[in-house]
Amino acid sequence: MTTQIMKPSASLKAYNTFGIDHSCLFLHEVQDKATLVSTCLDLYAQDLPVLILGGGSNIVLVDDYQGHVVKVLTKGIECEEDDAFFYLHVEAGENWHELVTFCVKEGMGGLENLALIPGTVGAAPIQNIGAYGVELCDICDWVEYLELASGELKRLSVAECEFAYRESIFKQELKGKAVITAIGIKLAKQWQPILSYGPLSTIAQANLTPKHVFDYVCQLRREKLPDPVVLGNVGSFFKNPVIPVSTFERLQERYPDIVAFKMGHQHMKLAAAWLIDKAGLKGMRCSDASVHEKQALVLVNNGGATGRDVCQLAELIIERIMQLFGVQLEAEPRLIGAMGEMNKG
């Protein structure tokens, strides 16, 4: 069975959820772990530029990529259990939402708040994905990765992954040195719903099940977020900025309706969508890229946007938010240029 398909001069339009039409020199579609390992090690040994691609839901292509793209398509979900927990071993190429759906269907609660987050399982630990009060670090047990320098498969515990808000060791110390191959998920059998975040607090808790929460989260996301198949986007484009409590209190005096959430005792996490909406930027356009009319945190491709259009729009938003609120916004997706990831800002 063919476990890798290599395509020269391949278009990446169908491989990024923004639907931006750029190409790469070679595209490797890899369908099993052994081939993923051998392909990555071979390219690493040749010192060739390589982009590891999951669902393409966290990148903005700014130029044709002058290197090799490895599309991870590895599949497999294994489940074990003891009296207290379900333990899942999930291969990196599995679709994240399909994993959440599988768990809910099998009666395993804990992932339902993370429904409809685009992308693959292997990309999830890199920025510690999260939604509605739950982050990957809350249910992650371990992360397996290929260490490119040694060629060894290694495993980090959740503590060793150095997870923080949209951060991990894979964005810092191990950036460019590791390829995530699988993750472990640990779900408590004594399910406790997480309903403290925003609209989830309105859910009636009598006879509540993970399926109820899953359905409600899906409904919320479908109402607020455009389907990338219909309108190209990467979901939330900006991180919610974290600021000191004292800074928040000064902003709150000027803007009593400001939306924020506590992060420990000393910091507040501002709702970036509120900032952009308050600044009157919904619908703002740069060529064919625009701020979504229904959700200010989402930038969309109206059909013919380039990566540069998206970047220009993001820069204008960042500049305007700094002028109005004195708050620095930071883009979530990676910007991919001709030779690899570009610095933001």
Q: Which of 94, 112, 332, 334 is catalytic?
A: 332
| Residue 112 bears catalytic tag | no
- Tokens 């169908």 belong to 14
Cα gap 202→29, rounded to integer Å? 44
Scanning the chain, the segments in alpha helix (DSSP H) are: 33-45, 96-105, 136-139, 210-224, 245-254, 272-278, 307-325
Cα gap 48→306, rounded to integer Å? 26
Tell me the sheet residues that pair with 102.
Answer: none
DSSP state of 160: G
Tell me the sheet residues that pair with 334.
Answer: 59
For residue 326, what are the CA distances in angstroms to 4, 275, 280, 338? Answer: 49, 11, 16, 33
DSSP labels, 210-266: HHHHHHHHHHHHHHHS--TTTSB--SB-BPPPEEEHHHHHHHHHH-TT--EEEETTT
* Spatial contact of 171 and 126, defined as CB atoms under 8 Å apart: yes
Q: Which of 112, 236, 290, 334 is catalytic?
A: 236
Q: Which of 166, 168, 221, 290 is catalytic?
A: 166
Cα gap 118→115, rounded to integer Å? 9
Return the beta strands (E) in 133-222 as ranges.
Answer: 134-135, 140-147, 152-157, 178-188
| Residue 11 bears catalytic tag | no
| Residue 236 bears catalytic tag | yes
Q: Which residues are catalytic?
A: 166, 236, 332
